[in-house]
Structure 1
Amino acid sequence: MSIYERTRGKRVDVDYETGYHFVIEYLSEGELAWTALSKTAEGAPNHETEPYSSLELGDDRYMVNWIEESGLVVSQVADFANGKVFAFMTWPDDSARGRRAELLHKGTLTVLD
């Protein structure tokens, strides 16, 4: 089962311990929309629609990846069975190693009806 089939018609609340909080809706097998409910990076939008790719890992867990227009890359593991989410984000930053800044998140995941 794909993440789109798993969440069709529902939204997913993603609340990271880093203070970032989003609602994600999987619109199709290859497109998602996210909305920020809390802080965002300076100058970042509060809502975007992104193409994504995903992989079912088994046991109601999925790896979801997307690249935003700004160059921000998100690689996320959504563990629906345990209500947990993990993500690695990286974005362009000339002052950082490899010219990419990074942030590792963990948090809770809740399917909303």
Structure 2
Amino acid sequence: MAPSLSPKKSWEGFTGSVVWSVAVGIAAVVLLLDGSWLVGVMVGVAAACFATVGDLAESTLKRDLGIKDMGSILPGHGGIMDRMDSLLVVVPVTWALLTIFVPV
């Protein structure tokens, strides 16, 4: 997918994350929020895409700084930031989509 930034990321993995994100998005929006399944599809696709963007952006930052881990709490796993990089981008996008398309 982006071998110079994150050599273990693949298009197959991205496809799997889109499929599972759509499945979870549909289930969550329909069962928990009484919204349309189409909104669940939209939220799932957006979450998978923006999570990948957040992860690749953090990988770019780490490459530019010349470091492997952003912290020492989770050595070998990229540090705490590697666990949050996707969420930092996905949460506002998901919130905006749900605010617009699922009425309270």
Scaled by the length of structure 1, the TM-score of the pair is: 0.24
Specify the structure having the higher radius of gyration (Cα). 2
Q: Which has the higher helix share?
A: 2
Q: Which has the higher strand share?
A: 1
Scaled by the length of structure 2, the TM-score of the pair is: 0.26
